[in-house]
Amino acid sequence: MADKTPKKSTTAAKKPAAKKAAKPPKAMPKPKPREVVLLSGGNPQIAKGYGDAPVQAYIAAMPGWKSDVGRRLDALIESAVPNVNKAVKWNSPFYGLEDNGWFLSFHCFTKYIKVAFFRGASLKPMPPGTSKQKDVRYLDIYEHDELDETQFADWVKQASKLPGERM
C-alpha cells in the first residue's frame, strides 16, 4: 500500500501587516539645467530640432572661439537668405529653404569649424575643401583665420538658389 502523507501547503498563511507610521513625502529635487555634452572633437551634442532655437543652443554650446564664429556665420547666412529655415540634425546646424531643401551645414572639430556646401561644386569660385562626394565642397575655418565675409555671403546666396538636399 502506498503511504499517503498529506502535502504541506506551498503558500504560508499571511499575517496581517503592521501599519507603519506614514513618512512625509520627499521634496522633488529641482531639475538641473541640462549640461551640453561635447562629443569627440568638441562638437556639441544638441537634440534634433527645427527652427532658430536649437541652432542658437548649438551655437551657444560651441566651445571657445568657435561660438563667436558660429554666431557670425549664422548672421551672415540670415542676412544673405532672409527667409532661411534652420534645424539641428546629427548634432550640426542646417540651413535651407522650405521648397528647396538644405544647402549648408557646419560642424565643430577639435581645431576648426567645417562648413559644408551640399552643392558646392556648382559655386563660383568653388570653396577650397574637396569631398569624397562629387557635389560637396567645404570651407574649414581655423581660430586665427580671417573669414572673407563677402565671399562667404556670395557662396550662401548661390547655394540657396541651387537644388538642396532632402534629409
Mean pLDDT of 10-38: 57
* Reported confidence tier of residue 33, pLDDT bands at 50, 70, 90: very low
* Reported confidence tier of residue 47, pLDDT bands at 50, 70, 90: confident
* Reported confidence tier of residue 44, pLDDT bands at 50, 70, 90: confident
Q: Can you give the residue range of the structural domain that contains 90? A: 37-161
Domain assignment present for 116 = yes
Of 13-27, 51-65, 101-115, 123-137, least confident by mean pLDDT is 13-27
Residues 6+ positions from 158 with CB-CB distance below 8 Å = 122, 123, 124
At 104 the pLDDT is 97
Residue 101 has pLDDT above 80, yes or no: yes
Residue 143 has pLDDT above 50, yes or no: yes
Domain assignment present for 6 = no
154-167 pLDDT, tens digit each: 999 999 999 999 88
Cα gap 112→4, rounded to integer Å:
85
Q: How many structural domains compose the chain?
A: 1
Domain assignment present for 17 = no
Angle between helix 65-80 and helix 52-61 axes, rounded to 10 deg: 150
Domain assignment present for 1 = no
User: Are the C-beta atoms of residues 85 and 98 closer than 8 Å to each other?
Assistant: yes
The CATH number of whichever domain residue 86 belongs to comes to: 3.90.1150.200
Domain assignment present for 24 = no
At 10 the pLDDT is 55
Planar angle of CA 22, 28, 29, nearest 5 degrees: 135
Domain assignment present for 132 = yes
pTM of structure: 0.76
Residue 115 has pLDDT above 70, yes or no: yes
At 32 the pLDDT is 44
* Residues pairing with 88 in the sheet: 49, 93
Which pairs from 48-51 meet CB under 8 Å and 24+ separation?
48/87, 48/88, 48/89, 48/90, 49/87, 49/88, 50/85, 50/86, 50/87, 51/86, 51/87
At 39 the pLDDT is 73
Domain assignment present for 123 = yes
